[in-house]
Homo-oligomer: A and B are copies of this chain.
């Protein structure tokens, strides 16, 4: 791979700064009202930590298109609200039935199932409110909203979720695995990049470059996650490894083998880097992030 324009330290500083912007904005987001427990449940899941990868990607895409991150902060928060809703609903007893997420009780464990379902609904709706507000503030049309809804909806993330659930415990064909990866996690990651570009008023070529980056790096991110679930250190990751195998989850290493998975991870990372090369130094954070995804050990 070509030499990074961004050092590891620069990337760490960049991620830290952007994440702090998102954390601060998210903290001030949800007002308490008569339906007080609802706001508490939304905040419980929204503030449970996490990498804030999607909002950071959206901000980095906007910056790569020449717009300051602060101007797309509400849209960045929208991505995190949407991601959080998907986790709350995934964790419900009728779906993955998980009691813990990031070491804290899942939303339905802490607040009951009814409130968890409604808190997820409310966060999904809030995501579109924030996107609309950011579009209005920037005087953009509804294109970023349309992209986000497509990526999150029944032909995007929700479709991937349905096929993932239907595949659990079964032998999965490579095409089915590709479908799950592309939609369950890939569509929203790619939309993070494309929405950032659209809100920043990127030219068609730059928008296409950022979308391409999103598709490749999104897949690389998923494969890296699956490899870490096999080879990773539970200590470094702060969570149990081997859970995918125990649940017979459809993963890239399970279907294609570990060495093919590592080769594919490298290929997708290189393709992602190639896609944004024409954008120049403004895209340095994104390039560094792609390398980090491929090399991370937690």
**A30 interface neighbour in B117, B126, B154, Cβ under 8 Å:** B154
A42:B162 contact, CB within 8 angstroms: no
Q: Does A146 contact B (CB under 8 A)?
A: yes
In the bound complex, CA of A112 to CA of B95 (Å): 10
- B-binding segment of A47-55, A135-143, A221-229, A275-283: A135-143
- B-binding segment of A5-13, A19-27, A31-39: A31-39
Determine the chain B residues whose CB is within 8 A of the CB of A143 once the complex forms.
132, 136
Q: Does A1 contact B (CB under 8 A)?
A: no
A146:B132 contact, CB within 8 angstroms: yes
Contact mask for chain A residues 142-175; partner B; CB cutoff 8 A; 1 contact, 0 none: 1101101110111100111111011000000000
Determine the chain B residues whose CB is within 8 A of the CB of A119 once the complex forms.
154
In the bound complex, CA of A40 to CA of B213 (Å): 34
Q: Does A244 contact B (CB under 8 A)?
A: no
Q: Does A297 contact B (CB under 8 A)?
A: no
A161:B118 contact, CB within 8 angstroms: yes
A92:B118 contact, CB within 8 angstroms: no
Contact mask for chain A residues 91-127; partner B; CB cutoff 8 A; 1 contact, 0 none: 0101100000000000000001111011111111110
B129:A153 contact, CB within 8 angstroms: yes
| Contact (A153, B141) CB under 8 Å given A34-B163, A94-B117 | no
Instruction: State how many copies of this chain the complex holds.
Output: 2
B33:A159 contact, CB within 8 angstroms: yes
Who on chain B is nearest to A126 by CB? B153
Main secondary structure of the interface of A (DSSP, over half): helix
Determine the chain B residues whose CB is within 8 A of the CB of A125 once the complex forms.
124, 149, 152-154, 158
Determine the chain B residues whose CB is within 8 A of the CB of A114 once the complex forms.
94-95, 165
Question: What is the minimal beta-carbon distance from A145 to any residue of chain B, in angstroms?
Answer: 4
Question: What is the minimal beta-carbon distance from A279 to any residue of chain B, in angstroms?
Answer: 26
| Contact (A38, B154) CB under 8 Å given A132-B149, A165-B114 | yes
| Contact (A117, B141) CB under 8 Å given A122-B154, A155-B31 | no
Which residues of A228-275 have CB atoms within 8 Å of chain B's CB atoms?
none
Q: Measuring CB to CB, which residues of chain A are less than 8 angstroms from any residue of chain B?
A: 30-31, 33-35, 37-39, 42, 85, 89, 92, 94-95, 112-115, 117-126, 128-129, 131-133, 135-136, 139-143, 145-146, 148-150, 152-155, 158-163, 165-166, 176, 179
